[in-house]
Amino acid sequence: MRLKGKTALITAAGQGIGQAAALAMAAEGAVVYATDVNAELLKSYQGVANVHTAVLNVLDKNAIAAQVASMDRIDVIFNCAGFVHNGSIVEAKDEEWEFAFNLNVRSQFWMIQAAIPKMVAQFEKDGRGGSIINMASVCSSVKGLPNRFIYGTSKAAVIGLTKSVAADFVRQGIRCNAICPGTVDTPSLQDRINSYADPAQARKDFINRQPMGRLAQAAEIAPIVTFLASDESIFATGNAYMVDGGMTI
């Protein structure tokens, strides 16, 4: 039970990597608040020990503040929500840029800003601050990928945000790290594949992008989240962790 005594708040936990991380953290003894904008998806947690669910739209600042205020303590935040736009800078639309930055980056800004006073107070009271884990991507400042202009730019911003928070609160018991997955076989990836004229070829192309010759499963990304949530990573902050099947070799 590596997370016993810890309370974790997760966004976009309805499916994919957020869901896998919520289940992994609950299995390690954390009390998990699994949130998502989609109430239907949260029904999958019925009967799962240690998991509370709540509808939370991370585009809603007041809702984020209310969720944070409703919790007695917060030891772990996993900011997982994000969206992938296709295309180069030539095709990019202003409204896509705005949506991506609001969902992929501003949501993390709002969540962390709301939670920091609680984490700092915890650290001053009992020496236990918090671990913040932000979802970036290997497609970011780490690596440019074709046709991911808006997405890669927004995920690069996540890494900058992560390092900034880590630097400002390193003496106040707060760690802040980012994770950078490669291509993960999640429902939204399947949606993206289905949007191509030839989905079978699109899946092959995604697989060929992975040096390991296969996609990751969401459960293969969850362990790095559990590690960063746990005290095993107590000396680690301000880092971006690749879990990418060799994309950055």
Instruction: With contacts defined by CB under 6 A, name the span among 25-33, 80-88, 114-122, 232-240 that binds ligand NAD.
Output: 80-88
**What CA–CA distance (Å, rounded) separates 153 from 134?**
15
Quick check: 82 binds ligand NAD (CB under 6 A)?
Answer: yes
Would residue 45 show up in a list of annotated catalytic residues for this protein? no
**What CA–CA distance (Å, rounded) separates 226 from 108?**
19
- Across 183-244, the runs of DSSP E, i.e. the strands, are 240-243
Quick check: 226 binds ligand NAD (CB under 6 A)?
Answer: no
Site string for ligand NAD, 190-219 (x = CB under 6 A): ----------------------------x-
Phi, psi of 205 (to 5 degrees): -65, -40
Largest CA distance in the chain: 57
User: In terms of CB distance, is 102 or 172 closer to ligand NAD?
Assistant: 102
Residues in binding contact with ligand NAD, number by CB under 6 A: 30
Cα radius of gyration (the chain): 17
Of these residues, 33, 151, 196, 241, which one is catalytic? 151
From the list 187, 199, 211, 246, which residue makes contact with ligand NAD (rule: CB under 6 A)? 187
From the list 27, 48, 54, 59, which residue makes contact with ligand NAD (rule: CB under 6 A)? 59
CB 210 within 8 A of CB 138: no
Indicate if the alpha-carbon torsion angle 32, 112, 228, 55 is positive or negative: positive
**What CA–CA distance (Å, rounded) separates 236 from 229?**
11
- Which residues are part of the catalytic machinery? 151
Residues near ligand NAD (CB under 6 A) are 11-12, 14-18, 36-38, 41, 56-59, 80-82, 84, 103, 135, 137, 181, 183-184, 186-189, 218
